[in-house]
Amino acid sequence: MAQPLVSWERAKNVMPGGVSSPVRAFGAVGGDPVIIASGRGSRVFDESGGEFIDLLGSWGPLILGHAHPKVVEAVKKAAEKGTSFGAPTDGEVRLAEMITGALPSVEMVRFVSSGTEATMSALRLARAATGRTKVVKFAGGYHGHVDSLLVSAGSGVATLGLPDSPGVTDATSKDTIVAGYNSIDSVKEAFSSFPDQIAAVIVEPIAANMGVVPPVSGFLEGLRQICDEDRSILIFDEVVTGFRVGYSGAQGMFGISPDLTVMGKVIGGGLPIGAYGGRRELMEMVAPAGPVYQAGTLSGNPLSVAAGLAALEQLGNGDPYGTLDSLGRLLSDGLQAEAKNAGVPLTVQRVGSMMTAFFTDMEVFDLEGAKTSDTDGFARFFHQLLDGGVYWPPSQFEAAFVCLAHDDDDIARVIETASKAFERIG
Ligand SMILES: *Cc1c(COP(=O)(O)O)cnc(C)c1O
């Protein structure tokens, strides 16, 4: 086999941990990461010619699979016309219209370059709109590496946040209150502890960053009601779920209207993007329409917008979400059955095309539940799959994604490989 063009040692010499984002380094499962050379459809290929069925999907954006011809064509065309102008373009208006058309709660949208930027900006707007400082987030909820959101205390009880990372000051994190996912009581407690001080509640309407944890019935409704009563801003972080669980995101699926919505991933068709949007009177507070400053040299980048438009066009035709749901069900049912046969405790939690196979025998409702998973068992599972040509996300607490490029044969091969893995683990 050919040697990779660049070795992992060289990567680690010049980049912290050898990567541009921590989860890529296989820290949670051990071993050296695969250095990717290319991707096509449902597959990725490494530099030595190894081929993998990809269930990472670049951590969410690639709902059409790798190098989808329509997306590639759109990006090529856009690149030939110039890659950035720092001035308004047609494409960004059309993408904004597509997004506002798909999400009834979003009347106006501002494009940024990442999900992190979008959540950071949405918080600024919420604080400006309410004149308050505190924010409620949930244990196990991830909203990018925004200072004030890099906080996650024990679940269940609302507590004042302590920072997760050095470099985040106590002054920043003290305005973050951590509540338990799926626990309306912990949110009520936060609001009664800090009346008229909470600017916003930010929530993943379907949690995806402690593994996939759907909201229990009444949870999102409860958040909506509490925010209405206290005149706080409800922010749905739909960076993962937007255009992933349905064309109108999780808010369409559950019929709940947030005040602000944060997006990213799928809306960029695999290129860098983020966006936040919501009701007109809130969004018109954003500069230059209003006083809340927020800007970006490459925001609304023509290549990202072109890729996003091409992707959303595909998702707006036919029944892609029905197809994704069938593929997702096939995979989750198969994994669940094979684990049972092998006597491996496993709980597969899935919404449409996103799922997590928790190595625990209990249903997971929050971070505490997720932590009952056998992470060593998961690490062995992950490496067995990788050896068998299946690229599963390298962490127990992440979502695996099926995409429209997967077919029944791909799924059957994943299940077969997983079956062998379960037998070895069990
Ligand atoms: C990925 C993610 C983000 C951050 O987006 P980036 O583009 O990585 O900055 C925010 N929120 C959620 C729910 C995410 O999954």
Res 15 pLDDT > 70: yes
pLDDT band at 4 (very low <50, low <70, confident <90, very high): low
Residue 153 has pLDDT above 90, yes or no: no
Cα(339) to centroid(ligand 1), Å: 30
Ligand 1 atom 6, closest CA: 115
Q: Quick one: which H or E segment has residue 221?
A: helix 219-230
What strands, in cross-sheet order, belong to the sheet with 51-54?
36-40, 43-46, 51-54, 390-391
pLDDT at 363 over 60: yes
Task: Please provide the average confidence, as pLDDT, over all residues in the chain.
Answer: 95
Q: CA nearest 250: which of 112, 179, 328, 354?
A: 354
- Over residues 190-212, the mean pLDDT reads 97
Q: Which amino acid is at 122?
A: A
Q: Ligand 1 mean position to 262 CA, how many Å?
A: 9
pLDDT of residue 165: 82
Closest ligand 1 atom to Cα of 59:
1
Pocket test for ligand 1, best of 59, 142, 261 (most atoms within 8 A of CB): 142
- Is pLDDT at 155 greater than 60 in this prediction? no
Segments of the chain assigned to CATH 3.40.640.10:
69-315
Average pLDDT of 194-210? Answer: 97
| pLDDT on residue 158 | 44
Band of pLDDT at residue 396, cut at 50, 70 and 90? very high
Q: Long-range contacts made by residues 157-160, C-beta under 8 angstroms, separation at least 24? A: 157/186, 157/189, 158/186, 158/187, 158/189, 158/190, 158/193
pLDDT for the residue 290: 98
Q: Please give the full DSSP string across 247-315, using - where no structure is assigned.
A: TTHHHHHHT---SEEEE-GGGGTTSS-EEEEE-HHHHTTBTTTSSB----TTTT-HHHHHHHHHHHHHH
Domain 8-67+319-425 has CATH 3.40.1080.10: no
pLDDT of residue 2: 54
**Which residues are part of the catalytic machinery?**
142, 237, 265
Q: By alpha-carbon position, which residue is closest to atom 11 of ligand 1? A: 143
Q: Is the pLDDT of residue 157 over 50?
A: no
Q: CATH fold of 69-315, please? A: Aspartate Aminotransferase; domain 2 (3.40.640)
- CA–centroid distance, residue 240 to ligand 1 (Å): 7
Strand order of the β-sheet with 400-401 is 347-351, 354-358, 400-401
Question: What is the value of pTM for the model shown?
Answer: 0.96
Q: Cα of 264 to ligand 1 centre, how many Å?
A: 7
DSSP class of residue 50 equals: -
Identify the DSSP state of 117: H
Q: Would you say residue 162 has pLDDT above 70?
A: no
What percentage of the chain exceeds 90 in pLDDT? 90
Is residue 48 over pLDDT 90?
no
Q: Which atom of ligand 1 is nearest to the CA of 264?
A: 7
Outline which parts of the chain fall under CATH 3.90.1150.10: 8-67+319-425
Give the nearest ligand 1 atom to 273 CA: 7
Res 154: pLDDT: 40
Q: What is the pLDDT of residues 72-98, one digit of tens each?
A: 999 999 999 999 999 999 999 999 999
Q: What share of the chain in percent tops pLDDT 70?
A: 96
- Which ligand 1 atom sits nearest the alpha carbon of residue 241? 13
Give the torsion sign (CA, 341, 342, 344, 346). Answer: negative
Ranking 157-171, 176-190, 222-236, 312-326 by mean pLDDT, the lowest is 157-171
Residue 7's pLDDT is 86
Q: Residue 259: which pLDDT band, with cuts at 50, 70 and 90? A: very high
Residue list, ligand 1 pocket, CB within 6 Å: 114-116, 119, 142-144, 204, 208-209, 237, 239-240, 264, 274
State in Å: Cα 199 to ligand 1 middle.
21
